[in-house]
A and B are shown apart, each in its own frame.
Chain A
Amino acid sequence: MPPYQLKAQIIRAETLAPDLYRLTFLAPDLAAEAKPGQFVMLRVGEGADPLLRRPFSIHQVTASGWVQVLIKVVGKGTRLLATLALGQTVDVVGPLGNRFSLHTSHHICLVGGGVGIAPLYFLARELQRSNPPAAVVPLLGARTAAELRPLADDFVALGLTPRLATDDGTLGHHGLVIAHLSELMATPAPWIVYCCGPYPMMRAVAKICREQGWACQVSLETMMACGLAACLGCAVPAADLAGPYKHVCKDGPVFGAEEVAWL
């Protein structure tokens, strides 16, 4: 019964850009259950420091039981995970959390920033595989071309045409990825927007969608101790600020943008 816990064999360990890694491991039961939007908790080493598992979105799974995550190095846990090599194992718990809900009757826009692109690729693959909606438009941003190009290329390989943006202007629009959202506003179609990235980006996207009357789903990040709905550490304020907190590992990580407070 999911979630599963296992020591998974590492099949591939790739450096995509400085401080950006892609880890592929073998976890057939987990892969079979995983849905776009869900995450895994990876243990960092065997010892007591770093102690807690770290959460990572599922980037893609294959029918052969492979599971892939993207890892951006931001601290000591991710730095250690980045040193994992072919033939070693990684202790994984998952799949965890809820999933993006699919509305294939709409035109679909995927807005991803940095490593937030990870779950959107899994979603894009699912969309293209089942009965593809009329339009799937990925809007992808990152700091610089070296980080964005390898991720964007995967969307191109799916037959999609991502619109790109980088902070330093080395690829695509020079500036924020949300600049591309305004191009969609010119089209009459009802869009549904799936978004994952830095908090300020998600807040801005949520605001535009509210103004346009578009449905919007966001994937949130918080500090997590367990990922299992046991510690209650992953609370985020709900849109009703007086009501109970939402818990990202159980109620999320995917939320309707109108469900949560944008502070």
Chain B
Amino acid sequence: MALNDLDLTCRIGSAVLQNPVLTASGTFGYGQEYESFVNLHRLGAVVVKGISLAPRRGNPPPRVVETACGMLNAIGLENVGVERFLAEKLPYLRGMRATVIVNILGDSVEEYAALAGRLDEVAGLAAIEVNISCPNVKKGGVAFGTDPEMAAAVTQAVKGATRLPVIVKLSPNVTDVALMARAVEDAGADAVSLINTLLGMAIDSRTRRPRLANVVGGLSGPAIKPIALRMVWQVAKAVKIPVIGIGGIATAEDALEFLIAGASAIEVGTANFVNPRACEEILAGIGAYLEANKMTSLRELVGSLAI
């Protein structure tokens, strides 16, 4: 069977992605950074670096540090802001015929809604991914993603401001991730993606100082995969909307585990830093697995976990 006889498509609200391999926000720049390594139009979607209304400077350095089988980052959501993104970054992605998902962030419900409204006016976007792992400045800096009511409020505001499919990206820094997933599903989310990074820390015992200037940062990479997989499995059982699995995916084998656990698609993050061709290799590996197992559609694999 030829690869193009395989149905690798997956549906996110009204959007149909050609395959389930997406890039994770913040690990793939605005796409152009990887043009020497990846055919951007072959990916399920390019999820761009998180965008806010105004440009953000981000945190002081050091911003990244390696830990066992992973890394901590405290980039501080540095980005060019929505207007420069639309003027300077999006035209390139369009020119490459890439499927584009814009990841958005804000520090108030109103900012999220304003961003969604701005993106609604823009042609050629596939979906919006809402990063809710950000502090709500008006509510004392508690992250939207750790409170079901705040997460639902953001979801509702974004849905109300755009016709684009809305993916809500869940934080793992909660006790019951399925509860959060249901809250945003009820508020109208078309899909959920998880996990964002786990809050972590590293200390230099020689100087007794934190290794990140921000003291704490987000843990990503292979180290978080078992946690991410467990959370995806729990959420997939709890909601009816599609689930996008993220966390430590570096190989096709990793991706297959998430699909079997119930993810309809996956995002590749930290692995892009290590192997800039990871996304296309994972895509090829998924295709080969389906063929070897005589499946004609990705949907046969999704959620096929045998317990």
User: Which A residues have a C-beta under 8 Å from some C-beta of B?
Assistant: 1-5, 43, 48-53, 93, 222-226, 228-237, 244-245
Q: A224 to chain B: which residues have CB within 8 Å?
A: 64
B193 within 8 A of A: no
B29 close to A49 (CB less than 8 A): no
B62 within 8 A of A: yes
A138 to B180, CA, bound (A): 62
> Which of A2, A225, A228, A233 touches B276 (beta carbons < 8 Å)?
A228
B68 close to A49 (CB less than 8 A): yes
A53 close to B35 (CB less than 8 A): no
A78 to B33, CA, bound (A): 26
Choose, from B70-78, B104-112, B115-123, the stretch at the interface: B70-78
Identify the interface centre among B35, B37, B59: most chain A CB within 10 Å of its CB: B37
> Which of A3, A43, A229, A234 touches B29 (beta carbons < 8 Å)?
A229
> Which of A48, A222, A225, A233 touches B250 (beta carbons < 8 Å)?
A48
- Of chain A, the residue at the smallest CB distance from B66 is A52
Q: B37 to chain A: which residues have CB within 8 Å?
A: 5
Residues 51-90 of B, flagged 1 when their CB comes within 8 A of A and 0 if not, give: 0000101111111111011110101001000000000000
A51 close to B66 (CB less than 8 A): yes
B273 close to A230 (CB less than 8 A): yes
> Which of B29, B57, B58, B65 touches A230 (beta carbons < 8 Å)?
B29
- Of chain A, the residue at the smallest CB distance from B35 is A1
B34 within 8 A of A: yes
Residues 29-51 of B, flagged 1 when their CB comes within 8 A of A and 0 if not, give: 10001111100000000000100
> Which of B58, B62, B69 touches A51 (beta carbons < 8 Å)?
B69
Q: B124 to chain A: which residues have CB within 8 Å?
A: none
A52 close to B222 (CB less than 8 A): no
Say whether chain B's binding surface is mostly helix, strand, loop, or mixed. Answer: loop
A49 to B222, CA, bound (A): 9
A51 close to B222 (CB less than 8 A): yes
> Which of B63, B65, B69, B277 touches A48 (beta carbons < 8 Å)?
B69
B60 close to A52 (CB less than 8 A): no
B26 within 8 A of A: yes
Q: B75 to chain A: which residues have CB within 8 Å?
A: 231-233
- Of chain B, the residue at the smallest CB distance from A4 is B36
B71 close to A225 (CB less than 8 A): yes
Minimum CB–CB distance from B230 to chain A (whole Å) comes to 19
B27 close to A230 (CB less than 8 A): yes
A222 to B62, CA, bound (A): 8
**Interface size band for B:** 35 or more
B221 close to A235 (CB less than 8 A): no
Identify the interface centre among A5, A53, A235, A245: most chain B CB within 10 Å of its CB: A235
A-B contact pairs, 13 of them (CB 8 A): A43-B274, A48-B69, A51-B66, A51-B71, A51-B274, A52-B71, A222-B61, A228-B33, A230-B27, A232-B49, A245-B57, A245-B58, A245-B61
Q: A50 to chain B: which residues have CB within 8 Å?
A: 66
> Which of B29, B63, B69, B223 touches A228 (beta carbons < 8 Å)?
B29
> Which of B57, B70, B273 touches A231 (beta carbons < 8 Å)?
B273
A232 close to B71 (CB less than 8 A): no
A228-B273, A230-B272 known; 15 other A-B pairs, CB under 8 Å? A2-B36, A48-B250, A51-B71, A51-B222, A52-B66, A222-B62, A225-B64, A225-B270, A228-B276, A229-B29, A231-B64, A234-B61, A235-B59, A235-B60, A245-B78
Q: B273 to chain A: which residues have CB within 8 Å?
A: 52-53, 225-226, 228, 230-231
B36 close to A1 (CB less than 8 A): yes
- Assuming the contacts A48-B69, A51-B70, asked whether A232 and B78 have C-beta atoms less than 8 A apart, the reply is yes
Q: B223 to chain A: which residues have CB within 8 Å?
A: 48
Q: B272 to chain A: which residues have CB within 8 Å?
A: 226, 230
Q: A1 to chain B: which residues have CB within 8 Å?
A: 35-36
Q: B69 to chain A: which residues have CB within 8 Å?
A: 48-49, 51
- Of chain A, the residue at the smallest CB distance from B273 is A226
Q: B34 to chain A: which residues have CB within 8 Å?
A: 228, 230
Minimum CB–CB distance from B79 to chain A (whole Å) comes to 9
A230 close to B33 (CB less than 8 A): yes
> Which of B33, B60, B63, B70 touches A233 (beta carbons < 8 Å)?
B63
A229 to B276, CA, bound (A): 12
A229 to B71, CA, bound (A): 17
Identify the interface centre among A232, A234, A236, A237: most chain B CB within 10 Å of its CB: A232
B28 within 8 A of A: yes
Q: Which 6 A-B pairs have the closest CB atoms?
A: A233-B64, A230-B29, A226-B273, A48-B222, A48-B69, A230-B33
A245 to B62, CA, bound (A): 12
A93 close to B276 (CB less than 8 A): yes
Minimum CB–CB distance from B63 to chain A (whole Å) comes to 5
Q: A234 to chain B: which residues have CB within 8 Å?
A: 61, 63-64
Q: A52 to chain B: which residues have CB within 8 Å?
A: 66, 71, 273-274
- Of chain A, the residue at the smallest CB distance from B250 is A48
Q: A48 to chain B: which residues have CB within 8 Å?
A: 69, 221-223, 250
> Which of B27, B57, B71 touches A244 (beta carbons < 8 Å)?
B57
A226 to B37, CA, bound (A): 13
Q: B61 to chain A: which residues have CB within 8 Å?
A: 222-223, 234-237, 245
A231 to B26, CA, bound (A): 6
